[in-house]
Amino acid sequence: MSSYINTTTPEQHAPYLDIPDDVIEYLHYLDFVKLRSPRTVNGYYLDLRGFFRYMMKQWDRVPEGAAPEEIDLTHITTRDIAGITKRDIFGFLDYVRSVQNGPKSRARKLSALKGFFGYMVTQVNKLSQNPTEDISLGTPKPALPKYLTREESLSLLKNIQSDFYERDFCIITLFLNCGMRLSELVGIDLSDFRDDTIRILGKGGKERLVYLNDACKQALDHYCKARASLPHLKDRQALFVSKKTGARLTARRVEQIVERCLQNAGLSGRGFSPHKLRHTAATLMYQGGVDMLALKEILGHENVSTTQIYTHINQQKLREAVQASPLANQGYIGPRTSQEESGKQDAQTAAEDTE
């Protein structure tokens, strides 16, 4: 199975070997013209490949019992693509729903299809009609991000067991304090540091500066001393390297390091990951009073609407606000009995007679 992402050099792509020529040209357009990130283009590659595997079955061009990876898409022509209708798009969306794809996944697949057919119609004029036009699944309800509490974060930092402790402690510290993405962390070079800031290369090649707090600076200081003592360094500019090979750590290797640290802290099996550590950093900063616009810049979000999801998870502050009500400690008041109500009315009548 070919993949856009080259695991040894994530900034490059492996060759496209199993998709139609028109899709290859579209992915190159996303890469070189639209300057989309490798992970974004890889997502489009996977979604479009899945769609055309579905279409091959609809066209009865698949041998009975063939596995998905055995379906040859390279012979699909522009004429074949021109014959795709709205009914086919609806059928595919219904199919992915039937195989347990959630609302966000279906919306992403539709976005990939809209992008591809829009390109075929408006950019290269290979199609006269766009079968995805006016198709909408609505906006999927955003899921609340999963995150570690302050106590769980401290437990994670206190339970790191590793043959390269300084490196792994520094990785966890940067995730929990800077809120960077996995791809951003593995891409850090030594030259990205200046004074108390680090230059982060985010989505779409957008740069941002993130300030380092004392915890990050201490972790980096200890790690860089340990790194300097390594007998061989293959990638001398890479911040995080393998102790064994001296090469830049891959994203997959960092995922394994994080998982091992979570296991040691008794936090595995709960869906935590490097991206959840990013959510943790954002949540703890927001709970600490960081302004929403400042948090947007730290996280590298394009729109503040993306950042606003963290306003929905500050449960402790909401509890404290409710408990601050002057009526918060008022006990239960039971209903008055008929005798009490009658006595109250007699007292009111007596008062009126004396006036």
Task: Name the catalytic one among 49, 53, 181, 227.
Answer: 181
- The Cβ of residue 227 has, within 10 Å, a number of other Cβ atoms equal to 21
Q: In what order do the strands lie in the sheet with 193-194?
A: 193-194, 197-201, 207-211
Q: Largest Cα–Cα distance in the chain?
A: 103
CA distance 166 to 127: 56
Structure tokens at 92: 């595919």
Distance, C-alpha 292 to centroid of its chain: 18
Is position 279 annotated as part of the catalytic site? no
Task: Name the catalytic one among 97, 146, 150, 203.
Answer: 203
CA distance 81 to 23: 10
Structure tokens at 187: 């891409």
Give which of 230, 190, 225, 195 is closest to 212, Cα–Cα: 195
Task: Name the catalytic one among 36, 49, 278, 296.
Answer: 278
Is position 181 annotated as part of the catalytic site? yes
Is position 28 annotated as part of the catalytic site? no
- The Cβ of residue 69 has, within 10 Å, a number of other Cβ atoms equal to 9
Q: Evaluate whether 135 touches 88 at the Cβ level (below 8 Å).
A: no
Is position 336 annotated as part of the catalytic site? no
Q: Evaluate whether 207 touches 156 at the Cβ level (below 8 Å).
A: no
CA distance 321 to 325: 7
Q: How far is CA 11 from CA 21, 42, 116, 226, in A?
A: 22, 11, 22, 27
- The Cβ of residue 346 has, within 10 Å, a number of other Cβ atoms equal to 10
Is position 208 annotated as part of the catalytic site? no
Q: How many CA atoms lie within 13 A of 169 on its CB side?
A: 24
Catalytic site positions: 181, 203, 275, 278, 301, 310
